[in-house]
Amino acid sequence: MRNLTSNNDERMWKGAPSSSFEKAKALRMRETKSEKILWDKLKNNQLDGLKFRRQHPISLYIADFYCHKFKLIIELDGKYHEEKEQKIKDQERDEVLKLNGLNILRFKNEEVEKNIDNVLIKIKNHIKELKIK
């Protein structure tokens, strides 16, 4: 696996190309229902005072939500993530990101839409585990 840090452009997080920032901006403008629900709970440091970014470029990927302090990526998965090919892509992506010191939490859209409080508890518990490490 390759290291995500780019020597060509140290200004970009983990080597994210500048085009990823335009794509991320477009994704923020057309957020899903579940992304809006979770963002409403994460924005403005509402979750334990932690700063989260949404649609944040990291290498060739764009994380749905990212907390730099804990190098935590939160991904929300729609129905297409249940397809075999997409599951393989998600697993490969997660492996590359984890090898570069990043932590990943995944939630299904339905989980966010039907029980946001439980999702927030899981995020807080995961952050507690990261604090111990």
How far is residue 100's CA from residue 124's CA, in Å, rounded to a whole number? 22
Q: Which sequence spans correspond to the domains of the chain?
A: 13-132
Nearest CA to 37 out of 106, 105, 117 is that of: 117
**Given this model, what pLDDT does residue 3 score?**
46
The predicted model scores a pTM of 0.78
Q: Which two tokens stand for residue 106?
A: 């995944």
Q: Do 98 and 21 form a contact (C-beta atoms < 8 A)?
A: no
**CATH homologous superfamily for the domain 13-132:** VSR Endonuclease (3.40.960.10)
Q: Do 103 and 130 form a contact (C-beta atoms < 8 A)?
A: yes
* Helix 116-132, helix 33-42: angle, nearest 10: 50
How far is residue 59's CA from residue 18's CA, in Å, rounded to a whole number? 10
**Given this model, what pLDDT does residue 8 score?**
40
Task: From first to last of the 133 residues of the chain, give the pLDDT tens digit.
Answer: 344 444 444 344 556 656 655 555 555 567 889 999 999 999 999 999 999 999 888 877 888 999 999 999 999 998 877 888 888 888 998 998 998 899 999 999 999 999 999 999 999 999 999 998 7
Tell me if residue 131 falls in helix, strand or coil: helix
Pairing status of strand 61-67 against strand 53-58: antiparallel
**Given this model, what pLDDT does residue 39 score?**
95
**Given this model, what pLDDT does residue 61 score?**
83
